[in-house]
Structure 1
Amino acid sequence: MPVLNRIADYADEMKGWRRHLHQHPELEFACHDTAAFIVARLREMGVDEVHDGIATSGVVGIINGSGDGPTIGLRADMDALPIVELTGADHASTVPGKMHACGHDGHVTMLLGAAKYLCETRRFKGRVALLFQPAEEDGGGGNVMVQEGVMDRFGVSEVYGIHNAPGVPFGHFQTNSGALMASVDTAFVYVTGKGGHAATPHDCIDPIVAVVAMVQAVQTIITRNVYALDEVVISVTQIHAGTASNIIPEEAMFCATIRCFNPEVRKLLKKRFYEIVEGHAAAFGVKARVDYDWGYPATVNHPSQAEFAVSVAQEISGEAAVNGQSPREMGSEDFSYMLEARPGAYLFLGTGPGAGLHHPAYDFNDEAAPVGASFFARLVERALPL
């Protein structure tokens, strides 16, 4: 089964929705105009219940089916990124320094398209909970929605989500039946020594050499503390120190992103990171402070729900276009919190050639929206058959 015919009829309308959202990006929890746009569309469609103000600017819409049954949750993230857009598109961002560089405008559009179809047809029993979530990129809006009781309040029994994937062939789906994306933690290390003239380093305590040693040493966590088959990434992404060529600074800092899949390995990484920083601080005679941000957990699909989602994707795109054993990747997602709260699955939908995610030239492929909407709609009809 390809794109549902009725949803194909919405293609131009969906393009209009998506491009409006693209022109008006909002960050983190401050997605108020985006939420107002979503609420207006849901009410036009005849969604039975519309609840806003969840996790500051999140929206939940409820569609009742034609009979009693459980509730399936479908999630779309809403927030944009602090990037200056370079697409040159007619529908480019109108907000300086902000753009939808990750396709969340497309995710919202896919879920709105599915909502319109499900409101019209209601060929399912039970209910659908449309979960429009802020602050995926930064802030953990998915966790806030869970903490505010969305799953219990609306009786969600299973939850599903999609992320677009530029560079993957158009209409192809990718997922697996376990860990799909990594956890992400961020460490900020602030080192204080004793500044002074660079010509007299013996009168100083140089924080720069301490930071350099720490940066090199934390890489040994991967090679000497972690089992070789447990995938781990530790990437130092910032080093800041100094103001002039003839001054040894008082302070220096570095930042690292730390990613893995195994919760026990995650604990080990934090423990060893602190030990290495503290040990090197003592060795170099500096003081060190670590701010360790315990971030998103790994995104782990539930096997039976992932297998079911694969079968639905095969209806939409054909068996050859669906990889249900996709390799896991080191990116992260706060949909992970929803999967910790309820069984479900997360999938990638290929959008064809184009700039990659988080790139200033990225733009969501509007032709993919009906594909994603069809997946959501068929998933509901098959999970909650009349």
Structure 2
Amino acid sequence: MIDLLDFRHELHRFPELSGEESVTATRILKYLGECSPSQIINNLGGHGVAAIFDSGEAGETVLLRCELDALPILETGQPPYRSTVDGKGHLCGHDGHMAIIMGVAQRLAKRPIARGRVVLLFQPAEETGIGAPSVLADEKFAAIRPDFAYALHNLPGMPLGHIGLKSGSLCFASEGLNMSFLGRTSHASHPEDAITPQNALVELMSTLNSLPEQLGIDPEKTLVTICHARLGLPAFGITPGDGDLFAAFRAETDALQAKLIASAAQYARDCAEKHGLKITVDYNEKFAACDNDETAVANIRDAAVGLNLPIIDIDKPFRWSEDFGAFSAAGKTALFVLGSGKNCPQLHAPDYDFPDGIINTGVDMFEQITRKHCG
């Protein structure tokens, strides 16, 4: 069986973006085969791979999930296993998460479970929010629908190897709106003949951030970020008649997020009408909130205590999003965080690199959780 550090470094050298993870999936299949699972499901929700370890005895189905995809970011770090693909890198730690789940497969091969089933899911397209819903919608998922599903994410800024836990909302829901405006273009010397989105864009950029307060929502439970704006073309002879505004909306719960998104879209439509513009609103990269089940969190806590790992109780949700929240529609779920060091660069930073020292910690945690359910 492959050494887990070598495996992680191999994945790191050959990153693939969301929806393009075919070669990564092939590598996963190669090394999973050495662990002799009862069954392997390929092309699940895209390039997803699921390995099923079935005891043959009645019991619960437990799913452990990691992610296949990398990011469209140029890696600036210089590890010997640096990305070989310009502009793409495993700068969120999904390579490390895959190594952890492969380590669980190796442990289950050496010591089979006594009851129930364990499903190891290598999920595609987490970074775009498409992957988890696509897996759930795949007809092949019905055969592995879990009673409990668990996942972890490494967390820079948290001490190395510490376990972070929280019941209820752990990660914000999020969604992006692309608001495209169309008016009428004219010569720059006759702006009075144009219908320009300029004032609408300025109004929305200056007021969308205060939308939660206008709705009576606690600003601590939401976040609005203006991500991109475009007005016409880069030319001096034209009064622009079109423009775009990208904004990301985040909220602590799915209910708050639905209210925020609906209100933002309507606010943009009203603004367009006021300024005599046509508008189209496109919705992008939707992530459900990660709502951790209390029983599942208790199981994670028991695992950490059993391994004598330090535990940090998280007091409020993270504002970043994780599409693992979608699995709560299939069973009881919980995501926990694994500290990747106080001095580790932030996720999605160009110099980030997953710390190899926490791979075995992740494997130990997932094995403990699995044994609690399946022996």
Q: TM tier, shorter chain?
A: over 0.9
Deviates more, 1:349-358 or 1:64-73: 64-73
SS at match of 1:28: coil
Query: How far did 1:316 drift?
Result: 2.6
Query: How far did 1:15 drift?
Result: 0.4
The question of 1:212 aligning with 2:202 is answered yes
Q: 1:58 aligns with which of 48, 55, 58?
A: 48
- Name stretches of at least 5 consecutive residues in structure 2 with no aligned partner: none
Aligned counterparts, 1:47-86, within 5 A: 47-65=37-55, 67-86=57-76
What is the CA–CA distance in structure 1 between the aligned matches of 2:337 and 2:178, rounded to whole Å? 31
Deviates more, 1:131-140 or 1:269-278: 269-278
The question of 1:94 aligning with 2:84 is answered yes
- Deviations 1:344-385 (Å, cap 9, x if unpaired)? 210110111221111111111111111001101111112223
The question of 1:345 aligning with 2:355 is answered no
What is the CA–CA distance in structure 2 between the aligned matches of 1:183 and 1:123, rounded to whole Å? 35
Q: Is contact 1:29-1:139 (8 Å) kept?
A: no
Q: Is contact 1:78-1:133 (8 Å) kept?
A: yes
Q: 1:299 aligns with which of 290, 297, 304?
A: 290
SS at match of 1:380: helix
Task: Write the letter of the residue equivalent to 1:22.
Answer: H
Q: 1:334 aligns with which of 317, 320, 323?
A: 323
What is the CA–CA distance in structure 2 between the aligned matches of 1:370 and 1:220, rounded to whole Å? 45
What is the CA–CA distance in structure 2 between the aligned matches of 1:271 and 1:49, rounded to whole Å? 43
Aligned to 1:312: 303
Aligned counterparts, 1:113-262, within 5 A: 113-149=103-139, 151-228=141-218, 231-242=221-232, 243-262=234-253
Q: 1:366 aligns with which of 346, 356, 370?
A: 356
Query: How far did 1:139 drift?
Result: 4.8
Paired residues in the alignment total 373
Deviates more, 1:292-301 or 1:102-111: 292-301
Aligned to 1:273: 264
SS at match of 1:45: coil
Task: Write the letter of the residue equivalent to 1:370.
Answer: N
What is the CA–CA distance in structure 1 between the aligned matches of 2:89 and 2:102, rounded to whole Å? 20
- Deviations 1:48-69 (Å, cap 9, x if unpaired)? 2222121221111111338432
Q: Is contact 2:71-2:127 (8 Å) kept?
A: yes
SS at match of 1:164: strand
SS at match of 1:323: strand
Task: Write the letter of the residue equivalent to 1:76.
Answer: C
SS at match of 2:152: strand
Query: How far did 1:246 drift?
Result: 4.7
Task: Write the letter of the residue equivalent to 1:92.
Answer: R
Query: How far did 1:257 drift?
Result: 0.3
What is the CA–CA distance in structure 1 between the aligned matches of 2:86 and 2:314, rounded to whole Å? 40
Task: Write the letter of the residue equivalent to 1:84.
Answer: L
What is the CA–CA distance in structure 1 between the aligned matches of 2:93 and 2:145, rounded to whole Å? 28
Task: Write the letter of the residue equivalent to 1:17.
Answer: F
The question of 1:289 aligning with 2:286 is answered no
Deviates more, 1:50-59 or 1:260-269: 260-269
What is the CA–CA distance in structure 1 between the aligned matches of 2:324 and 2:6, rounded to whole Å? 26
User: Structure 1: which 4+ aligned runs deviate by more than 3 Å?
Assistant: 65-68, 197-200
Query: How far did 1:175 drift?
Result: 2.1
What is the CA–CA distance in structure 2 between the aligned matches of 1:123 and 1:266, rounded to whole Å? 40
What is the CA–CA distance in structure 2 between the aligned matches of 1:138 and 1:155, rounded to whole Å? 23
Identity %: 28
Q: Is contact 2:60-2:373 (8 Å) kept?
A: no
SS at match of 2:23: helix
SS at match of 1:114: helix
Aligned to 1:5: none
Query: How far did 1:217 drift?
Result: 2.6
- Name stretches of at least 5 consecutive residues in structure 1 with no aligned partner: 1-9
Query: How far did 1:165 drift?
Result: 1.0
SS at match of 2:249: strand
- Deviations 1:279-313 (Å, cap 9, x if unpaired)? 22222222222113371111111111112112212
What is the CA–CA distance in structure 1 between the aligned matches of 2:274 and 2:58, rounded to whole Å? 67
What is the CA–CA distance in structure 1 between the aligned matches of 2:131 and 2:274, rounded to whole Å? 41
SS at match of 1:156: coil
Q: Is contact 1:230-1:262 (8 Å) kept?
A: no
The question of 1:383 aligning with 2:373 is answered yes
Deviates more, 1:212-221 or 1:69-78: 212-221
Q: Is contact 2:252-2:317 (8 Å) kept?
A: no
Q: Is contact 1:18-1:105 (8 Å) kept?
A: yes
What is the CA–CA distance in structure 1 between the aligned matches of 2:217 and 2:225, rounded to whole Å? 18
SS at match of 1:236: strand
Aligned to 1:105: 95
Q: Is contact 1:151-1:341 (8 Å) kept?
A: no
Q: Is contact 1:159-1:343 (8 Å) kept?
A: yes
Q: Is contact 1:175-1:326 (8 Å) kept?
A: no
Query: How far did 1:276 drift?
Result: 1.8
What is the CA–CA distance in structure 2 between the aligned matches of 1:256 and 1:330, rounded to whole Å? 15
What is the CA–CA distance in structure 2 between the aligned matches of 1:155 and 1:244, rounded to whole Å? 55
Query: How far did 1:155 drift?
Result: 4.4
